[in-house]
Amino acid sequence: MTDLAGGGVVHLDSAAAGRMAPGTIEAIRAHLHREALRGAYVAEEEAGEGLTGLRRDLAGLFGVPDDGVALVESGTTALQALIDSWPLRPGDRVGIAPSEWGPNLEAFEAAGAVCVPLAVDADGAVDTEALRVDLEGLALTLVHVDQVTSHRSLVQPVAELVAACTPAGVPVWVDAAQALGHRELSAGVAAAYATSRKWLRGPRGVGMLAVASEHWDRLRVRPQRKHPGAGPVRLLESGESNVAGRIGLAVAVRDYLAAGPREVESGLDLVGDLTREHLADVPGWSVVLGRGAITALRPTAGQDVSDVRQRLLDQHGILTTASLPWRAPRDPVEPTLRLSPHLDCTLEDLARVAAALR
């Protein structure tokens, strides 16, 4: 795995924050330099084409018009902006899978919404046939799913969910924080949001929200004289922003598009399969099976995953996540060690992890 001129770790932590490519880092550095040389607002104006290109590329990935994307600070900020502007009201019923990201549950509950657990199969994927049958009785305001779950290798059937819910007038919101740059996004969702820093390998501090045009009229957004003619989704952005981060993200997205979303998805599926295969026989650990590039290892000999994560980093230069139950409090998974390698992961890296865990 690229170790950025010798000082880097074996990076198995893309689900937290992926490793930026040198070209992304250089684009950020060059923009910061231009801000100092020419003034921050002038540098932003001069970067106009690149920023427009970023919006166009993201809109294409999310399947919305260019004005349907708001650049915000994070996935969390994006969901909050969506909840506030939709707006979600106390008593609204949000269908969720038990594997739902914990902070999202907290955001829905803080808005007074009721999180309604949907029926799932043995892996935890929403049972879309059962949902079709139950849809009327569940009286859902909307369905919200994480296309890819954070804490284990679980992929939700977003296209099937859209097919089941949309004809019944139930909008589908998608948390694509672990999906964007990892898997192709499904068309037809009412809203989706994600972050730059994970599988796209963009910088921290940039997130995005996309809303399908048929829902723009319902968004409660304050008009701003400073931005006459701006559409409702764009008005969800805050005035100040990390422009250098957006410039870096523009480069990361272009790299992703050049690599090909389908090719990246199958490559990451292979990386995930190889990870699970290589770690299957490591004593004291049980691999949580699934699909995609995120792998959870369950300790079976009483290890503290936070201690193990720290020792892997300090003694072996291997970066992983200690995944604690707050990530998905309704999913029956205890603390795990999470590995989330990207396409640059090598078989030697996996052998090194297996040896370190042994």
Of 101 and 256, CB closest to ligand PLP = 101
Count residues contacting ligand PLP (CB under 6 A)? 11
CA atoms within 13 A on the CB side of 141: 16
- Residue 175 binds ligand PLP (CB under 6 A): yes
| Binding residues for ligand PLP restricted to 314-333, rule: CB under 6 A | none
- Residue 147 binds ligand PLP (CB under 6 A): no
CA atoms within 13 A on the CB side of 281: 3
Smallest distance from the beta carbon of 98 to ligand PLP, in angstroms? 14
- Residue 146 binds ligand PLP (CB under 6 A): yes
Of 43 and 294, CB closest to ligand PLP = 294
Strands 321-323 and 336-339, bridge-based pairing: antiparallel
Smallest distance from the beta carbon of 177 to ligand PLP, in angstroms? 4
On whether the CB atoms of residues 173 and 142 are closer than 8 A, the answer is yes
- Residue 202 binds ligand PLP (CB under 6 A): no
Phi-psi region of 123 (alpha: psi -120 to 50; beta: other; left: phi over 0): alpha
d(CA 151, CA 137): 30
- Residue 150 binds ligand PLP (CB under 6 A): yes
Smallest distance from the beta carbon of 176 to ligand PLP, in angstroms? 8
- Residue 74 binds ligand PLP (CB under 6 A): yes
For ligand PLP, the binding residue among 177, 191, 296, 312 (CB under 6 A) is: 177
Of 43 and 147, CB closest to ligand PLP = 147
For ligand PLP, the binding residue among 14, 24, 76, 141 (CB under 6 A) is: 76
Direct distance between the N- and C-terminal alpha carbons of the chain, in angstroms, rounded to an integer: 21
Phi/psi at 48 (nearest 5 deg)?
-50, -45
Binding mask 207-236 for ligand PLP (x = CB under 6 A): x-----------------------------
DSSP assignment string, 121-189: -TTS-B-HHHHHHHHHHHT-SEEEEESB-SSSS-B--HHHHHHHHGGGT--EEEE-TTTTTTSPPPTT-
- Residue 248 binds ligand PLP (CB under 6 A): no
Q: Which amino acid is at 165?
A: C
Environment class of residue 149 by beta-carbon count within 10 Å: exposed (0-12), middle (13-18) or buried (19+)?
A: buried
Of 65 and 103, CB closest to ligand PLP = 103
- Residue 75 binds ligand PLP (CB under 6 A): yes
The residue among 249, 294, 256, 255 whose CA lies nearest residue 276 is 294
Q: What angle, 0 to 180 degrees and rounded to 10, lies between the N-to-C axes of helices 347-357 and 261-279?
A: 30
Helices and strands in the chain: count of H runs, count of E runs: 12, 13
For ligand PLP, the binding residue among 14, 178, 186, 295 (CB under 6 A) is: 178
Of 24 and 74, CB closest to ligand PLP = 74
Of 155 and 357, CB closest to ligand PLP = 155
Smallest distance from the beta carbon of 16 to ligand PLP, in angstroms? 7
Instruction: Kindly list the residues in this chain that would bind ligand PLP in the complex (CB under 6 A).
Output: 74-76, 101, 146, 150, 175, 177-178, 195, 207
